[in-house]
Amino acid sequence: MRSLKVTNCEVSSKLTDYKTPIQSVTLYNETLREKKRQEKELREELRKKFTFENPAATKERVNAGVFRMVYEHQVKSLKPQSVIDIIHFFDSPRRNFC
């Protein structure tokens, strides 16, 4: 049976990047709150536009329409180069950066 060889570099990099589950969830919640704050004006503008175009729409339908429009806006705002970079990142072999 072979033992695993772990270098000091790998151990130290894993220890410095470690976050407790509570820290991870807190960070995730903060990023979601900030994203919602940034999208608030856009959502209000799209809500007015959607209710003007669909005056008989229910509250649920308006919320769904605004959600879809915000998603489409986010997809349009993605830069093609960033998508290409993501694809190349996952296609490249993993390297040890220590």
Q: pLDDT tens digits, residue range 45-82?
A: 999 999 999 999 999 999 999 999 999 888 888 766 66
What is the structure's pLDDT at 31? 94
Which position has the token pair 């709150």? 33
What is the structure's pLDDT at 28? 94
| Domain definitions of the chain by residue range | 40-92
d(CA 55, CA 66): 14
Amino acid at site 10: E
Q: Dig out the tokens for 38 from the structure.
A: 């940034």
Q: For residues 12-35, b (16+ Cβ closer than 10 Å) or e, as one string? A: eeeeeeeeeeeeeeeeeeeeeeee
With 60 as the cut, is the pLDDT of residue 96 above it?
Answer: no
d(CA 33, CA 43): 14
Rounded mean pLDDT of 16-27?
90
